[in-house]
Amino acid sequence: MSDDLKTTPLDALHRSLGARMVPFAGYAMPVQYPAGIMAEHAQCRTKAALFDVSHMGQAVLRGEGAAAALERLTPADVQILKPGRQKYALLTAPDGGILDDFMVANRGDHLFLVVNAACKDEDFAHIEAHLPAGVTLERWDDRALLALQGPSAEAVITRLGGAAAAALPFMGVADVLLAGIAAIASRSGYTGEDGFEISVAAGEAEALARAILADPDVAPAGLGARDSLRLEAGLCLWGNDIDRTTSPVEAALTWTIGKRRRAEWNFPGAERVRAELESGPKRLRVGLRPDGRAPARAHTPIIAADGTALGEVTSGGFGPTLNAPVAMGYVPPSHAADGTPVELMVRGRPLSARVSPMPFVPHRYRR
């Protein structure tokens, strides 16, 4: 592994736990621990798993009109966010493509942002370049981000003294003390399970992680399980399922566009989004259930029964919870209805599949 990779504040802990480290978004990250991806996946579905997501970008926006300023770059209704609430949003380009997806929380006197690791430098530069006088962006590069996910997550947080976090509804955010360590917790995640994302000072991240892992209901999990979990949950991965070529309408993410924003049409890419909402997009992101047990990976061609090329798989793999392969990809609207038969060209051979509703595994967020 290259020596020029960045490391997270939990790097030494990962290695002491026997993690297999791989390059990811410029960082050395754990892909799995000795128990293996299948066990880590099951741990998250049945109890609780702890993920290191410190490679993600964290920042705050401060100043009068910060929410309105951010709305110049996203279709989301940021101004409607009440203090202590968070939402999923998209950064869009003038041509309607998706520059990144991110989380934004109203923290009272500032907005808290979490963006993707691979895009964070570009995202923060893009946001900063469009801020009016009096609104500033402050990167939080000195903080770690942990994700505790699974049906036991709330009980674990409670045992650590995090009653304020345990009381949060889905997409709630609060200051908390966990094992005596100050942190910011949001009730959110990337697995489809109930859980928390926890921002903590880098210097205290390992102590907090060890306190969480000391709970008998928790085990560490790496990128492998994180990917299989989010795929079963039908959640997009930027760079695979969404990117600069896809619009929010094509990606089936129109729910991120605020009602007021649809009346104003004053966000980047609004012209394309409005046209696709009115006339329909050329393609749509759909779920796919291949027959048999062979998974269809990203870039697998999707074809119609008559051999017509439809599109390609953007994410695919084996779903341990379903004990079957699952995938996502883009097809024309004519082939996007649930149950539509298609074929996937896996290693040069057609594999029968059908369009499937998502999520493949029901979400269990705390509403």
Regarding whether 222 and 292 lie in a shared domain, the answer is no
pLDDT digits (tens, 9 = 90+) for 195-207: 999 999 999 999 9
Residues paired with residue 62 on neighbouring β-strands, in sequence order = 110, 136
Q: Is residue 323 part of a domain?
A: yes
104 located within any domain = no
What DSSP designation does 321 have?
T
CB atoms inside a 10 Å sphere around CB 91: 26
Domain count, the chain: 2
Give the C-alpha separation, 186 to 79, whole Å.
Answer: 19
- Looking at the structure, tell me whether residues 190 and 326 fall in a common domain: no
Domain range enclosing 216: 11-57+142-232
* 1 confidence band (pLDDT: 50, 70, 90): low
Claim to verify: residue 41 and residue 151 sit in the same structural domain: yes
Structure tokens, 290: 């291949």
Domain boundary among 193, 216, 232: 232
pLDDT given for residue 2 in this prediction: 62
Residues 201, 324: one domain? no
Instruction: Provide the pLDDT confidence category of residue 47 given band limits of 50, 70 and 90.
Output: very high
Beta bridge partners, 32, equal 20
Hey, what are 288's tokens? 């796919």
pLDDT over threshold 70, residue 187 = yes
User: Span 28-52, mean pLDDT?
Assistant: 98
Given a cut of 70, is residue 232 above it in pLDDT?
A: yes
Task: Please say which residue of 232, 260, 292 terminates a domain.
Answer: 232
Residues 194, 342: one domain?
Answer: no
Radius of gyration in angstroms for the set of CA atoms belonging to the chain, rounded to a whole number? 20
Whether pLDDT at 351 is above 90 = yes
Mean pLDDT for the stretch of residues 71-85:
98
Classify residue 172: in a domain, yes or no: yes
Residue 117 has pLDDT above 80, yes or no: yes
CA distance linking residue 71 with residue 78, whole number of Å = 6
Average pLDDT, integer, range 275-280: 97
Asked whether residue 323 falls in the same domain as residue 226, the answer is: no
For residue 334, give the CATH number of its domain.
2.40.30.110
168 lies in the same domain as 298: no
Nearest to 106 by CA among 125, 78, 129: 78
Q: Is residue 211 part of a domain?
A: yes
Same domain flag for 18 and 158: yes
Q: Which three-class secondary structure state does DSSP give residue 303?
A: strand
Pick the closest to residue 59 from 112, 117, 135 (CA basis).
112
How many whole angstroms separate alpha carbon 58 and alpha carbon 64? 20
pLDDT category at 367 given cuts 50, 70, 90 is: confident
pTM: 0.97
